Structure 1
Amino acid sequence: METAVEPGNNEPLLFGFGFDEAGLHTPLTWDEVLEGGHAKYKRVWLHLDRQSAQAQGWLYRKSGLDRLTVQALLQEETRPRAARHGHGYLINLRGPNLNEGADVEDLVTLRMWAGEDLLITLRARPVRSATDVRKLVEDGEIDTSTGALVAGLADRLTDRMEIVLDDFDDEADRYEDELLDPKARIDRSVLPEFRRRVLQVRRHITPQREALNTLVRDGAQSGLFSDQDLLFLRESADRITRLTELVENIRERSSVLYEEAIQSSTEETNQRLFVLAILSAVFLPISFVTGLFGVNLGGIPGAGNPVAFITLVIALALSVAGTLALLRWQRWI
C-alpha cells in the first residue's frame, strides 16, 4: 500500500526529529533548527529540500559540516555512492520516481550525511521511501539510531525498486507473448522506448549495489552501524544484486525482442513482395500478348475471324495455367 507523499510546500525543512537518550522522538521545526534548539538532543534527523536557498545557507553556515561535504550534498549531478568522510558517511542512493505524472525510471535521489549524532537527508523531488521511514519513526516501529535509519531508508528504496523492476519483467513477458501470437500486432516503436527505460534504471542500479556493499564492508569498523543494521544493509545489497541481474536480463530480452520484431516485419514485407512478384510473373504473358494485339495497325491475326477473341482468351488462360504449373514445379509457390 502506498503511503502519502511528502506535503508540497516551500519550507526548507520537510520534517525533522530530535531523539533523546531513550530513542523517543520529538518533531522539530525550522525555527528550532535555525536557533540551534536541535543541539539539545542526543541524535537528530533533518530531512531538507535540496533546492531551498534557506536549507543551502544553513548547510554552509550552521550545520557544522565542512564545505567539501556540503558541496557534495548539493551538487546537481551525482551517482549512487557511499564514502567515508571524517566521522561520518556521504551516501547517495536512488529510487523510482513515484510522483504523480512522472516516469518511474526517472529515478529520484536521496542524499545523506550520516554521523553518530546527526543524519541529514536531502531531496529535490519527493522520495516516498523517506516518508515511509518517517512513519515508522512516528509509530515507534524502528530503532532511531543513525545506522538504523540509514538501513531503513536503503531497505525501503530497494523495496520500491524491486516493484518497478518486477513490472518491467512483466512488461517484457507481455511483449514476448504478443510476438509469439500470430494474431497480435505489436507496435515496434514501443520496444526501443522500453529498452531506453530499462537502460536508464540499469545506469544507476549497479553503482547502488556498490554503495551498499561499501556500507556493509566498512560500516562495522566505523561503529555507526550495529550488527542488526549491517544485517539489513547486507540484505538490501543482496536484493540489489538480484535486481542488477534482473535488469541485465530484461535489457538483453528487450534487445532480442526488438530484433525479433524487426525480423518479423521484414518477413512480412518480403512475403508481400513475393506475392507481388508471383502476380507479376503470372500476368506478364497476358500483358505482353494484350499489348501486342492492342496496337492499331493492320495485319493483326484473326482481326476478321469471329472466334479469334475466344481463341485468344483460351490461349491466355492456358498461358496462366502453364506459368502457375512452372512456378509450382520450381517450388516457388
Structure 2
Amino acid sequence: METAVEPGNNEPLLFGFGFDEAGLHTPLTWDEVLEGGHAKYKRVWLHLDRQSAQAQGWLYRKSGLDRLTVQALLQEETRPRAARHGHGYLINLRGPNLNEGADVEDLVTLRMWAGEDLLITLRARPVRSATDVRKLVEDGEIDTSTGALVAGLADRLTDRMEIVLDDFDDEADRYEDELLDPKARIDRSVLPEFRRRVLQVRRHITPQREALNTLVRDGAQSGLFSDQDLLFLRESADRITRLTELVENIRERSSVLYEEAIQSSTEETNQRLFVLAILSAVFLPISFVTGLFGVNLGGIPGAGNPIAFITLVIALALSVAGTLALLRWQRWI
C-alpha cells in the first residue's frame, strides 16, 4: 500500500486538516495552528511529533486541553488504553514498527485526544497507519468526523498487526517442520529469541483489545461515534481478539518448540555418551591386561615363549567378544 511520507522529526506538525460543514478538508500549516487559524473549521485533525518541544509547548499553552490530559499524552511509557475524560477520550493504541532497520515487534505508539471538534494524534516514531488514513482523507474515501477517523486509525493498526502475527505464525510452522525433519539442524538459539519477540507483542495486544472494547461499549453513549463508526470499532475489536488468541497459540508453540529442541539435543548428547561408555566397557579388560603385561619387571608369564604374543592377542580378542556378548545379553546394545 502506498503511503504518504511524514516530514522530518524537527517538524512539530507532521500534517493537519481542517474540515468544514460539508466534511471537505483543508491542509493546515504549523503557522496557522500557532495563530489559531484552525479554530474557524468545524473539526480539526492535527498529527504532531510528540518529541517536538514546539508541539509540547503548544499542547500545554494553546491547545485548550487541561494539564492532566496533556501529561497523559506526553508521558514516556504507556500501554494501550481508552479512557473517557470530560467530553472526549484519551486513547493509546499500538502498531507494528515498520520503519527501516527497526524490529516489527518493537511496537510504535499512537496517542490520541478525540473530542467532538478536535482530534490530536501524537507519535514519537513514524506510524504508517496514520499516513494511511491521511491518504484516505486526501482522496475523500473516509468520513471526516472524529469518530470515523479514530475508527479508521484502529482499523489500519489492526490490518498491519495481522500481517505481523501471520508472519510469526508462518515462522513457528517453519521451525516445527525443521524439528520434524531428521536431516535439518535447527539453531536452538533462534527459539528463545523468537519467543521473546512473541512475548513483546503479546504484552501490548491484550490491553489493546480491552481499549477497543471500551470504545465500543462506551462510544455510543458519548455521542462521538456513529453507528457506522461503532461497527468498524467492533470489527477491529473482534479481529484483535482473534489476534490475541493467535499470539497465545504462538507463544505456547514457541515454548513447546524450545523444549523439543532441548530434548533432542539432550538425546543426542546421551547417545554419544552411551557410545563412549560402551567403548570404555569393551576396552577396559584389554587396557588392564596390556597394562599389567607392560610393566618392566621380571617374571612376566610367557616372556620366553615364542607364541606368547599370539596367545595374548587371541585372549584379548576373546575378551572383547565376551564383553560384547554380555552387553548384548543385557540388552544394553
In structure 2, C-alpha distance between the alignment counterparts of 1:5 and 1:253, rounded to whole Å: 38
In structure 1, C-alpha distance between the alignment counterparts of 2:150 and 2:140, rounded to whole Å: 16
CA deviations on 1:41-69 (whole Å, 9 max, x unpaired) are: 01000000000000000000000001110
Contact 1:95/1:158 (8 A) holds in 2: yes
Matched, 1:318 2:326: no
CA deviations on 1:146-181 (whole Å, 9 max, x unpaired) are: 000000000000000010001111111111111111
Contact 1:15/1:46 (8 A) holds in 2: yes
Contact 2:109/2:124 (8 A) holds in 1: yes
Q: Count how many residue pairs are aligned between Structure 1 and Structure 2.
A: 333
1:18 is paired with a residue of what secondary structure? strand
CA deviations on 1:207-237 (whole Å, 9 max, x unpaired) are: 0000000000000011100000000000000
Cα shift at 1:5: 4.5
Contact 2:50/2:56 (8 A) holds in 1: yes
2:196 is paired with a residue of what secondary structure? helix
In structure 2, C-alpha distance between the alignment counterparts of 1:266 and 1:253, rounded to whole Å: 20
Contact 1:6/1:128 (8 A) holds in 2: no
Contact 1:5/1:126 (8 A) holds in 2: no
In structure 1, C-alpha distance between the alignment counterparts of 2:178 and 2:2, rounded to whole Å: 31
TM-score w.r.t. structure 2 length?
A: 0.99
Contact 1:60/1:70 (8 A) holds in 2: yes
Contact 2:198/2:251 (8 A) holds in 1: yes
In structure 1, C-alpha distance between the alignment counterparts of 2:255 and 2:328, rounded to whole Å: 39
In structure 1, C-alpha distance between the alignment counterparts of 2:293 and 2:6, rounded to whole Å: 85
Cα shift at 1:4: 4.8
2:112 is paired with a residue of what secondary structure? strand
Cα shift at 1:6: 2.3
Q: Which residue of 2 aligns with 1:81?
A: 81
Distance 1:325 1:316, change over 3 A: same
Q: Which residue of 2 aligns with 1:169?
A: 169
In structure 1, C-alpha distance between the alignment counterparts of 2:109 and 2:18, rounded to whole Å: 24
1:134 is paired with a residue of what secondary structure? helix
Cα shift at 1:317: 0.7
2:219 is paired with a residue of what secondary structure? helix
Distance 1:168 1:306, change over 3 A: same
In structure 2, C-alpha distance between the alignment counterparts of 1:238 and 1:253, rounded to whole Å: 23
CA deviations on 1:82-101 (whole Å, 9 max, x unpaired) are: 00111100000000000011
In structure 2, C-alpha distance between the alignment counterparts of 1:132 and 1:187, rounded to whole Å: 38
Cα shift at 1:202: 0.4
In structure 1, C-alpha distance between the alignment counterparts of 2:51 and 2:29, rounded to whole Å: 18
In structure 2, C-alpha distance between the alignment counterparts of 1:271 and 1:151, rounded to whole Å: 58
Q: Which residue of 2 aligns with 1:8?
A: 8
Cα shift at 1:7: 3.3
Contact 1:59/1:70 (8 A) holds in 2: yes
In structure 2, C-alpha distance between the alignment counterparts of 1:10 and 1:28, rounded to whole Å: 17
In structure 1, C-alpha distance between the alignment counterparts of 2:79 and 2:252, rounded to whole Å: 23
1:225 is paired with a residue of what secondary structure? coil
Distance 1:5 1:102, change over 3 A: farther
Matched, 1:262 2:276: no
- List aligned pairs for 1:84-103, cutoff 5 A: 84-103=84-103
Cα shift at 1:2: 5.2
Cα shift at 1:185: 1.1
Distance 1:2 1:290, change over 3 A: farther
In structure 1, C-alpha distance between the alignment counterparts of 2:185 and 2:98, rounded to whole Å: 30
Contact 2:9/2:52 (8 A) holds in 1: no
CA deviations on 1:29-48 (whole Å, 9 max, x unpaired) are: 00000000000101000000
Contact 1:5/1:127 (8 A) holds in 2: no
Q: Structure 2, unaligned stretches of length 5 or more?
A: none
In structure 1, C-alpha distance between the alignment counterparts of 2:92 and 2:2, rounded to whole Å: 23
1:94 is paired with a residue of what secondary structure? strand
Cα shift at 1:182: 1.1
Cα shift at 1:3: 2.8
Cα shift at 1:297: 0.6
In structure 2, C-alpha distance between the alignment counterparts of 1:281 and 1:137, rounded to whole Å: 80
Cα shift at 1:124: 0.3
In structure 2, C-alpha distance between the alignment counterparts of 1:307 and 1:20, rounded to whole Å: 115
CA deviations on 1:254-297 (whole Å, 9 max, x unpaired) are: 11111111111111110000000000000001100100110011
Cα shift at 1:184: 1.2
Cα shift at 1:9: 3.9
Cα shift at 1:11: 0.7
2:152 is paired with a residue of what secondary structure? helix
Cα shift at 1:186: 1.0
Contact 1:213/1:237 (8 A) holds in 2: yes
Contact 1:97/1:127 (8 A) holds in 2: yes
Contact 2:9/2:49 (8 A) holds in 1: no
Q: Which residue of 2 aligns with 1:225?
A: 225
Matched, 1:155 2:150: no
2:179 is paired with a residue of what secondary structure? helix
Cα shift at 1:197: 0.6
- List aligned pairs for 1:211-250, cutoff 5 A: 211-250=211-250
Cα shift at 1:189: 1.0
Runs of 4+ in 1 over 4 A off after TM superposition: none
